[in-house]
A and B are shown apart, each in its own frame.
Chain A
Amino acid sequence: MKINPNKCVACGNCTYVCPMGAIYIDPAINRATIDRDECVECYACYYGLSTENLNPPFVRLVRKIFQWGRLRFDPEPDVCPTAAFEPDELQWPRVIRRAFSDPRATHESTGVQGRGTEEVKTNDVTGRVKWGEVGFTIEFGRPGVGVWLRDIQKMTWALAKAGVAFEKKNPFTLLMSDVTTGTLREDVLDEKVLSAIVEIKVKVEQTQQIIELVREVEKNIDTVVALGVGTRCDENGEELLVAPILERLGYKLERAKTNMGLGRITNPVQKKEDQLQEIPSETR
């Protein structure tokens, strides 16, 4: 992302809306400026700010007059008055930043489709997490901290060493040069993203081991971590296997995402394939 200095009037609205705090008014040029190291290309400034198309020299003059008179003009705080933000043509590997930070991004250039997968949201039709299994989503960097990919590698190395397999369709897995060791491509390590999600699946009995491992490794990672733990309920809709483990580990279970089991396979081709693969009906 870049800010056109010919358009910027240094109103400062954009300095507040950047989730990474990477925008500031540079006193040397009196224009809003982006710290490119800290910018994660989330495009919150470009898409989130509404725009006016005011004449920049006129706005600067008005602002000067107001400033001189110690008057406060109180404009809308979510507006760039001169539409000064202009997207960059992002090249590899910087394009990774946008792929993992901008929820509106399409990822043809990277082969990445969003930060995560459908995980338990569509478990009623995918059967991804089966009875007796636990799907972990380990998210780094959100809210508002961001994460360097080289830091996440510390976690993927540790998980791989523990014999855990990474979710194949997860975009972060696609950045690995070696999924058996959890090693990332060398050329992406110095990229920072708003958040990234590592997804794994283990047996219920391994739940405590994984959580303890994550707690240990996160001590050496300079960002926040959010753990999501997904599992199947029994035929009565109860979940009595994993919750007790989590509570024993000290977690108070306040919030959850609940899959109602109302989905079914309706795509004609997939239906045929699934019949051939004889997927157990309990997963549908």
Chain B
Amino acid sequence: MTNTLHRYGDAESFRDDYIVFATPSSGRNDVDSVPKLKKFLELALPFKPVNIGDPVHGGSLRPERGLHTTSNWKRDMKPDFRAVIDGIDEPASVVAIFDNQAAAEQFLKVAADADLGLSINMSASVEGAKECCQFAGIARHSVGYSLGFEGATDKLPNTQLLKLTTMCGHGMVSASLAKKMIDWVKEGRRTPDQAVTYMARFCSCGVFNPARAKRILEESRKKME
């Protein structure tokens, strides 16, 4: 799975994007891993992640069924971290997203000290992840580089849209929706916070970074690339 690796942007644009995830390996350490996965996310909460999630049930912002009509005027837009943690019921990667390096590296240290026995990875800028490892006293085991997008790149949308859509690594956030959200923010029809929430609900494993998306929307409000 490469769902957090190929985010579009340069290292500078990842300054508020640190993804830390714990993965049980099938047949090796997945037995009785559910309590460990829950603990991993519990340990993350004090460091104020901007999103958490699991691929089976979703992130902290999820679609809702059977909304009341009044939701068009008054809708709960807050992430529900507790629902994510309580909902984990099978072995799968769980993820915590941070918008600053200090929080990510401190959490990494705490997660390492907890000695959960699960594989823990960080998806971030190459240097950002290296610095977090140094802080936590960890020697990296393996690294997977993203070489970015190539081939028929003329089929891709502009860079701001790419930055938004690739934050759901499974491709569930469409370029059309991202463009619509940029337009709505530009027109003042929705705030960046609201627009980000709409997009995040389509990301089915919670790796969408609302803080980075909000910054990109703010930048797009003033200047489209």
Which one of B44-52, B111-119, B209-217 contacts A? B111-119
Instruction: Check A124/B55 contact, CB under 8 A, given A19-B171, A51-B65, A116-B2.
Output: no
Q: Is the CB of B69 within 8 A of A54?
A: yes
Which chain B residue shows the least CB distance to A142? B171
Chain A, residues 139-157, CB within 8 Å of chain B (1/0): the string is 1111111000000000000
Contact of B171 among A42, A49, A51 (CB under 8 A): A42
CA distance A260 to B173 in the complex (A): 29
B165 CB within 8 Å of chain A: yes
CA distance A145 to B161 in the complex (A): 14
Indicate if the CB atoms of A78 and B202 lie closer than 8 Å.
yes
Say yes or no: A233-B141 contact (C-beta < 8 A), given A118-B25, A143-B166, A255-B123. Answer: yes
Q: Using an 8 Å CB-CB cutoff, how does the interface string of A42-65 with B read, 1 for contact, 0 for none?
A: 101001111111100000000000
Among A145, A227, A258, contact of B140 (Cβ-Cβ < 8 Å) = A258
Please, which residues of chain A bring their CB within 8 A of the CB of B1? 114-119, 121
In the complex, A231 Cα to B145 Cα: how many Å? Answer: 9
* Closest CB in chain A relative to B27 CB, distance in Å: 5
Report the bound CA distance from A242 to B119 in whole Å.
22
- Asked if A233 and B143 sit within 8 Å, CB to CB, the answer is yes
**A226 to B2 Cα, complex, angstroms:** 10
Q: Are B149 and A226 in contact (CB under 8 A)?
A: yes
State whether the Cβ of B220 lies closer than 8 Å to any Cβ in chain A.
no
Query: Given A19-B174, A225-B150, A226-B146: A233 and B155 within 8 A (CB)?
Result: no
Interface presence of B122 (CB below 8 A): yes
- CB pair A254–B121 under 8 Å, yes or no, is no
Please, how many angstroms separate the alpha-carbon atoms of A218 and B152 in the complex? 8
- Chain B residues with CB under 8 A of A15: 176
Q: Is B41 an interface residue (CB 8 A)?
A: no
* Closest-CB distance, A5 to chain B (whole angstroms): 21
Give, as a whole number of angstroms, the nearest-CB distance from B35 to chain A. 12
Q: Which residue of B lies closest to A195 (CB)?
A: B171
Question: Given A228-B144, A260-B112, are A254 and B11 neighbors across the interface (CB < 8 Å)?
Answer: yes
Query: Which residue of A79, A118, A221 contacts B23 across the interface (Cβ within 8 Å)?
Result: A118
- Per a CB cutoff under 8 Å, which of A76, A194, A268 touches B71? A76
- State how many angstroms separate the Cβ of A180 from the closest Cβ of chain B: 26
Instruction: Point out the residues of chain A lying under 8 angstroms from B181, CB to CB.
Output: 77
CB-based contact A19/B172 at 8 Å: yes
Contact A254 B14 (CB under 8 A): yes
A4 within 8 A of B: no
For B123, list chain A residues within 8 Å (CB): 255-258
Whether A263 lies near B119 (C-beta < 8 A) is yes
Contact B172 A78 (CB under 8 A): no
- B26 to A, closest residue via Cβ: A118
Which single residue of chain B is at the shortest CB-CB distance from A106?
B56
Q: Which of A83, A195, A255, A260 has the most CB of B within 10 A?
A: A255
A239 at the interface (CB under 8 A from B): yes
Taking CB atoms, residues of chain A closer than 8 Å to B153 are: 224
CB interface residues, B 163-186, toward A, < 8 Å: 165-166, 169-177, 180-181, 184
Beyond A52-B69, A122-B119, A228-B144, whether A139 also contacts B25 by CB under 8 A is no
17 A-B residue contacts at CB 8 Å? A48-B204, A74-B189, A76-B72, A77-B181, A104-B55, A104-B204, A119-B2, A121-B1, A195-B170, A225-B151, A227-B146, A233-B143, A237-B138, A246-B145, A255-B14, A256-B124, A266-B117
| New contact pairs (17) apart from A48-B172, A246-B145, A257-B5, CB-CB < 8 Å | A44-B172, A54-B69, A125-B28, A125-B29, A144-B157, A144-B171, A223-B152, A227-B146, A237-B133, A239-B143, A253-B145, A255-B14, A255-B125, A257-B146, A260-B140, A266-B31, A267-B31
